[in-house]
Structure 1
């Protein structure tokens, strides 16, 4: 609770010192609405408006055939799709959302979820959890927002909201591939705190945020963390995003031990059917431990998706993740991976049914690298293999109101 009070107090202080809107992005408005926000009331009444309230739900069932056949059925060091060689409800959820608009400036989001993907996504490795974490992990979003009449529209948001870091969503339905990338699983899917968002024009937008910690369900201290997000769209085809995080993620909150982290994202929409992305993350911090070692980790992914035609799409994602000191994954390792996905989509009114078939290859080297395999090497100890191949079938059903 002390961290939450700090977050709100600091947000109010930061906003009060802004002479002009800084680094924010309009939520719930199209570019046309942002540039014509001062149009007359008569013109607004003539334009059809989309509903402010939205609701829906989704179910995600998956079966991951791991050809290593580990007896513990575990995808090692993973927070999402963590189980293999069994049929699982990886995620199911329901949501309600109200957009913040010029006509109704208050907005809100509430999303509840459950399943295998909801068990470990918000925790750091071997770090203390917040009180009530077993219940709080069932919330995917829970926030309120306000569209302030400042310039093009300044959006203030507080609570549990989507992370400004990374490209992959916690939910497979929103991603190119069924399984998430390594950089996604070791960066926050959600953030708890407050943010201010603004779109300066058609090309530049951004945000500032104050949050409790890097992973929202960990509890190493009561000092807030900070960040800035900037997006630049030089043309209709290209988008460049940069997010910087800076904050304490150890019990010793001295500045020398704060984590510095950068997430860079490049998107190229070649046409309506082909999209290519490039993402690079790098983080470092000095450890409050004997010798004060400096740890370092980095990762990169290149997701791409091609809509072949009709209901068919394919996606490919090569990636690499280097955890030099084992800070993020718990093991010193270099992971190389490639994931290929075919999707068949059946839309009907408000619903969509997606069937995905995915092949995934992961290889891990280093002193702590490897993936679980068949047979124990000692009582209660599962052996490790340097690589694994997986064939994954996913069925995703969604319902979304207009």
Structure 2
């Protein structure tokens, strides 16, 4: 019997040694998340819409914001990554996708086609270089699509105004001192299919050590569609953010973003900033606050005024306070108050006028106040 067991062990050992090395085996990771909320708008708009608010944009109704499924596959130096999604969140941010008409034999490309895809990339590593291509969430700013990875439930005006996603390719390489440099080439702002045929470029340097995150980024390109009265100007964006723990209880963050676009009418420009703070009350409960201000100047020459890049008003600002309770692993309940303010009517309240021909709602408030109760769970 002992001889038989030894022979079997040797046979198993020989078979195991003939198998591919672990790094040559495919590793599949599956994850996902769920987001739902109920919101009360103090201005009680008749259309029950919370305007210019990113994704928590409906009042007095339970709203399924997003259901996302993530699959990541690794084999050797190659990685594939896809996140598919359903809900108000993707339907909202893909409204920015340009429409590229088709023909009887070529499909039209628009937001309805792509809104179910949040991320779809493939990457490969060679030495210290990593090359990645596909559809990416925008690298601009510290906030992300998944509520679970943000301190607040709602997103800042910077997150909502600046680009959400890009299609293209990146190359990254360590710079030393824990910094990673990256070169980006994209179709442009919020463009799975480009609206002008000219790629945009970006360069960034990111830092991620011991819960401290920082990044500086430049993004440049032609973002106006073909045939715009502003012409085809080169738009310049500069962004920087930092997020860090002060101690075991308090964490802080900040983002600044500015840019300009010299076009046929003049020079359009913007400047924005956001501040964040988080206080850990217990292991299960934290409080977070955020405030931001976003100003945009539209070029004008006495006859023409450039179309806005971001907002229908000169500036918007907001203040947010959030309580987040995590009673169990992989689930968070958040209660949030938010006040929005704008330079002119940008929000809704009371009886909202709807233009019959276009079904467009006319903003009639310079402020809005909301209370939101949301739950997110993930695996």
TM-score by length of 2: 0.81
Asked if 1:389 corresponds to 2:363, the answer is no
The whole-number CA distance in structure 2 between the counterparts of 1:383 and 1:275 is: 36
Deviation string, structure 1 residues 295-316 (Cα, Å, up to 9, x no partner): 1122111112222212101110
Q: Does 1:316 align with 2:297?
A: no
Q: 1:242 Cα shift?
A: 0.6
Q: Which has the larger radius of gyration?
A: 2
Q: Could you tell me which residue of structure 2 aligns to residue 329 of structure 1?
A: 310
Structure with bigger RCO (C-alpha 8 Å, 6+ apart):
1
Distance 1:200 1:379, change over 3 A: closer
Aligned length: 334
Could you list the runs of 4 or more consecutive aligned residues of structure 1 that deviate by over 4 angstroms after TM superposition? 127-130, 235-239, 252-256, 377-383
Unaligned runs of 5+ in 1: 1-46
| Cα distance in structure 1, aligned partners of 2:196 and 2:225 | 5
Q: Does 1:281 align with 2:257?
A: yes
Q: Secondary structure at the match of 2:371?
A: strand
- Contact kept, 8 Å, 1:315 with 1:342, in 2: the verdict is yes
Query: Residue 248 of structure 1 aligns with which residue?
Result: 222
Secondary structure of the residue aligned to 1:161 is strand
Give the aligned partner of residue 299 of structure 1: 272
- Asked if 2 retains the 8 angstrom alpha-carbon contact of 1:256 and 1:286, the reply is no
Give the alignment partner of residue 237 of structure 2, picking from 261, 265, 272: 261
8 Å CA contact retained: 2:109, 2:193: no
Q: 1:294 to 1:128 in 2, by over 3 A?
A: farther
What stretches of structure 2 of length at least 5 have no aligned partner?
1-21, 101-107, 299-306
Are the structure 2 counterparts of residues 163 and 378 from structure 1 closer, same or farther at C-alpha, using a change threshold of 3 Å?
A: closer
The corresponding residue for 2:161 is 186
Displacement of 1:252 in angstroms is 4.9
Please, what is the CA RMSD of the aligned residues? 2.6
Helix, strand or coil for the counterpart of 1:77?
coil
Measured in 1, the distance between the counterparts of 2:74 and 2:249 equals 28
Report the TM-score, using the length of structure 1 for normalisation: 0.76
Q: For 1:361, which of 308, 328, 339 is the aligned residue?
A: 339
Q: Equivalents in 2 of 1:278, 1:359: separation in Å? A: 20
Question: Residue 347 of structure 1 aligns with which residue?
Answer: 328
Report 1:186-265 matches (<5 A). Answer: 186-217=161-192, 219-232=194-207, 239-252=213-226, 257-265=233-241
CA distance in 1, matches of 2:163, 2:272: 14
